[in-house]
Amino acid sequence: MAEAEPQEENCEKSIKKMEKCKRDLEKLLEEMEKITVRATWMTYNIVTIHTNPDLANSMKRLEDAFLRCEEQMRKKWQEVLKD
């Protein structure tokens, strides 16, 4: 029976390592999603500006509104997590 305990400990350690890897992978995927969205917006902005330079101001206002909204959502989410 003494041999079973180290195996159980190794199994528990392996499970904990796998859970940590899963959390790390989820964080990385979330960051990749954010970067992908930003790259998509940048591409869209470039195409739009080349197509119609007058739209640059409109795009800037839209981007500013989006960033303000994103910041408010982040603040609200932090408040929810604190409660």
Domain map (residue ranges) of the chain: 1-51, 53-82
pLDDT of residue 4: 55
Taking alpha carbons only, the member of 40, 57, 37 closest to residue 49 is 57
pLDDT of residue 60: 85
Predicted model pTM: 0.48
pLDDT of residue 47: 85
List per-residue pLDDT tens for the chain, 83 residues long: 445 577 888 888 989 999 999 999 999 999 999 999 999 999 987 887 788 877 778 878 999 999 999 999 999 888 888 87
pLDDT of residue 34: 95
CB atoms closer than 10 angstroms to residue 45: 16
CA dihedral 29, 19, 78, 38 (to 10 degrees): 0
